[in-house]
Structure formats: C-alpha cells, structure tokens
Amino acid sequence: MIYGHVTTPAGGVAGSSVTYYKRPVSGGAWILVRRSTSLAPTGWHSITIRPRRAMVWKAVSRGGPGYTGDTSNYVTVRVY
C-alpha cells in the first residue's frame, strides 16, 4: 500500500484529488497509475499495488482553495 495525508497547518484536507505515478528505477517518463481522493478527517489517501518489478513512485496533490499543491518524496518499491 502506498499512502499519505493531504494536510495544511490547520489539519487534514478531505476531498483533494491525489494522482499516483510510477517510473522505472533506471529513470524515464512518469506513468500515471491511478487517482484517489483524500478522506476526512486526516486527509488520508492510499492505493494498493502489486509490483512485479522495482519502480519509483510519487503522489501529487494539485492543491485547492487555501492551499498549494505538492509532490511527495519518491519511494522505491523493490521486488525480491
């Protein structure tokens, strides 16, 4: 599972669109995987993945009224 929270200094943001991307560890273009919506009260968002090979993942929130969008840290998911 890849997850996170969309937050502001005032707390979690519900209803924010979050887009998940992946790319090969060796580099290359980001590939859109899925979108989800953050949930109340903490701004929780998540997707479940079943990787077949190592990939780098990121989540992007575009922002909304009163807060700016942001991109997560990159996470490498390895398959052993």
Tell me the pLDDT tens digit for each residue of 25-49. 999 999 999 999 999 999 999 999 9
Count of the separate structural domains present in the chain = 1
Confidence band of 66 (pLDDT split at 50, 70, 90): confident
- CB of 10 closer than 8 Å to CB of 17: no
Amino acid at 61: S
Q: What is the mean pLDDT of residues 52-73?
A: 92
State pTM to two decimals. 0.89
Provide, for the chain, the percentages of residues in helix, strand and coil under a 3-state DSSP scheme, each rounded to the nearest 5: 0, 60, 40
Angle at 74 between CA 69 and CA 79, to 5 degrees: 140
Q: What is the mean pLDDT of the chain?
A: 94
Domain extent, residue 58, equals 2-77
